[in-house]
Amino acid sequence: MELFNADFGGARITGHGIGPVLEAFSGVSSIAVLRGGGLGDLMYALPAVAALKAAYPEASVTLLCTPVQAELLSQTVGPADEAVVLPFAEGVRPGPEDHHELERFFAGMRARNFDLAVQLHGGGRYSNPFLLGLGARHTVGTRTPDAAPLERTVPYVYYQHEPLRALEVAGFAGAPPRELEARLQALPEFGRQLAQELLLGNGGPELSNDGSANSGGPRQGLPLGNAPGYGRVLVIHPGATDLRRRWPAERFAAVARRAADDGFRVFVVGDSSEKELAETVVELAVEHSQAEHPGAEQVNTGSRKSESAEARPAVESLAGKLSLGELAALLAASSVVVANDSGPRHLAQALGAPTVGIYWAGNAINAAPLGRSRHRVRLGWVTRCPVCGVDVTQVGWTAPRCPHDESTVKAIEPSEVYGDVLQLTAMSPLPHGR
C-alpha cells in the first residue's frame, strides 16, 4: 500500500482547528477559492471562505464557481467578495470543453496575480492541475495519491464531513476556523416581493424599516409583521441530484398533509426540472386530505398570482417559479424545512432555518448538520443495493456504481419526520421567538 500523508510544505504548526493550523502566508492581498458543483457544494465551502477572510482581512476573496452558485451569491449576503464562473473543464465543471475559452480564462486569472489559491473541489485529480493553472504564488488544497501536488496538501479521504474538510484545508492556509457551518443572509427586497405575492403571515422574522431582522440571529427573510395569513410555514424540497437520496413523493405528501391539517402553510419547492415531482407531492397531499376530510382545500400548482389568504391552498407548489433570491427569502422565513440531502436543505441551514434532513447514513457522515437543537436528521441504513446487492458504501471517484437508483431512505417513516417538525416548531428559543 502506498504511504500517503499530509504535506505541510515546510510550514510550522501555529495552532489547531480541524487538524493543524499552519503559519499564514505573508503579503496576501488576493485569494482564489475553487469550488464548483451545486448549492450544497457551495455551502460546504463557505465556512472556509469565512475563515480565510478573517485570517487575511486585507485580502479580497474570489470564488471560482458554477453559474447557479454565482447567481445565489449575487442574491444573498455572504463572505465572498466576488464570484467568477468557471469554464467547462473535465472534473471541474461538466460540459463541452472549449480549448480557446479555457486559455482565455487561465490568461485572465494569471493576469490577476493571485497570492493564494485554495482548492476545495474534491481530491485534486482534475482540480489540482486546474488550480495550478491560475499561477498563484501559493497553493493549498486536498489531494489523493494520484493527484498533482500543491504547496500544502490535506490527504483526501472520502468519508469526512465536507465543511470540516474545507476548514481543515483553510487551516493549512493559515486560517483557523471561525464558523463550523455556512452562514448567509437573504436580501430583504426579495422577501418583500415574495411576502406580497404569497400573502404570508407571521411565519418568519419581522423586518424593520431598514430591512434588518428584528429578532435575534442572522436570519433575514420575509417582512411579515402585519400581513394576514398563516402563522407557521413549512417548506418541503423533495428533490435530490442523486435519485438514491430521494425520499418517496408519497412520504413527503404524508408530512405535508399532516402539517396542513395542523394549520401550517406548506410550500413545495424545487427547480424547473423538479416541477413534476413537486406537483406530485402536492396532489398526493391534497388527494389524501380530501379522502380523510371531505371539502378540504384544493391543490394549487399554478401561478403565484396574489389572492386572499383564505383562497390560497394550504399546500402549494412553487417549483420552478422562484429566483434563488426568492428561494433564500422563503427559506429564511420558514418555521421549518423538510428535505432530502440537497442544496436547498443546506441553504436553509445557512440562512438559519430549522431543518429536518432525510439522509442515507453514508451521506450523513459527509453532509449532515452538526447540531441537533435546530436540526434533526433521519437516517436510511441501507448498505447494499436492493436490486443487485452491490455494496453502496464504497463511494468516491474510483468506486463502482451500479445502474440502479433505488431509494436508500424510503424506510424512514413520515410519522418520525413529522414528529421532528413538531418538536422544532415547539422548541424555544427559536430565531422567530416562537
HSE, CB side, 13 Å, CA atoms: give it for residue 357.
29
**Nearest residue to 270 (alpha-carbon basis) of 172, 339, 352:** 339
Distance CA 340, CA 174 (A): 34
How far apart CA 388 and CA 300 sit, in angstroms, is 39
Say which residue the cell 452538526 belongs to. Answer: 370
Report pTM: 0.89
Find all residues with CB under 8 Å of 266, minimum gap 6, and list them. Answer: 233, 234, 235, 236, 256, 259, 260, 285, 314, 315, 316
**Amino acid, single-letter form, for residue 310:** E
> Mean pLDDT in runs of 10 for the chain (434 residues)?
84 97 98 98 98 98 98 98 98 97 98 98 97 98 96 96 98 98 96 80 38 40 40 95 96 98 96 97 85 54 46 87 96 97 98 98 97 97 94 79 94 98 78 45
156 with 143: CB under 8 angstroms?
yes
The whole-number pLDDT of residue 274 equals 97
CB environment 191-219: b (16+ within 10 A), e (fewer): bebbbebbbbbbbbbbbeeeeebebeeeb
What is the rounded distance in angstroms from the CA atom of residue 228 to the CA atom of residue 191? Answer: 15
CA separation for the pair 23, 37 (Å, rounded):
30
What is the chain's Cα-based Rg?
22
Q: What is the pLDDT of residue 197?
A: 80
Number of H helices, E strands in the chain: 12, 16
Contact 354, 331 (CB under 8 A): no
Grid coordinates in use for 258? Answer: 399532516
